[in-house]
Amino acid sequence: MQITSFENQKTGVRIQPGFAWDEQDAYLFDIDGTLLRDTSRIHYKSFAFSIQQVMGLEVSLDGVSIHGSTDTAILRDACRQAKIPAELLALRREAILKAMRLKVAEQRHDLRLRLMPGVEDALRHLERKGALLGVATGNLEEIGWIKIEEAGLRHWFRFGGFSDHCPVRAELVGNAARMAREMAGDAARICVVGDTPRDIAAAHANNLPVIAIATGNFSFDDLLELQPEVCASSLAGLLAHTRVTP
């Protein structure tokens, strides 16, 4: 496994007036594109491999919307595109998900992970301010934790919301928010951190603020149009902006 860091020379930060981005009680971080990126594509390839292994059918993710989606939704959409009946998928869904988990676990040491700019500094900054840190990701739970562990980030996170039983991203964010409130109190201020329009929509569907980070497949301007409470080119840029702001 290789762990490297992205360097991003572009900077840009927009914060809605009155929103203190680093003074929330809990944060729900997306994984892929926000915390890290896996250039090995092991997780990506596990969909077609597992469907073929369990069902003996060939599918492709080409043309399937994956950015900001969930593993369970991607599986559904890939099978729908391949014209696999929903009833047949329902019968084999759990076996396919189990095969995906096993495939990624077997190859965990072959993951090539790149941390996004400023990730560890941002996590350290928020923890020092007393924030509770969790993840809210479209990954299956075992796969999500494998990536976090292999990237050396596991010690920062105390809980997580995953897609094992939540094909809709807003649902898994809602589940993660409930966990955060159980740990930090019913009045806890919770903020989502993500890199896609779906992260922004899921946060706002749960009446949560969001920090949109343009380190994934969407530009700063793309994300800014959706009116997140914070939009930044990277967590490193957000930290730099905060340090120079009176």
Cβ count near 168 (within 10 Å): 16
Residues 142-184 have pLDDT tens digits of 999 999 999 999 999 999 999 998 989 999 999 999 999 999 9
CA–CA dist 231, 214 (Å, integer): 8
% pLDDT > 90, the chain: 92
Around Cβ 182, how many Cβ atoms within 10 Å?
11
Tens of pLDDT, residues 12-42: 999 999 999 999 999 999 999 999 999 999 9
CA-to-CA dists, residue 230 to 147, 186, 215, angstroms = 26, 24, 14
Taking the domains of the chain in order of start, what are their residue ranges? 2-37+111-244, 42-109
> What's the whole-number average pLDDT of the chain?
93
Model's pTM, two decimal places?
0.92
**pLDDT mean over 109-128:** 96
* H-run or E-run covering 240: helix 235-244
Report the distance separating Cα 7 and Cα 118, nearest Å: 9
pLDDT at 83 over 50: yes
CA 17, 23, 26 angle in degrees (round to 5)? 120
Q: What are phi and psi of 237, to 5 degrees?
A: -65, -40
Interatomic CA distance for residues 172 and 161, integer angstroms: 5
Please report how many Cα atoms fall inside a 13 Å half-sphere around the Cα of residue 233, on the Cβ side. Answer: 12
Specify the CATH number of the domain 2-37+111-244: 3.40.50.1000
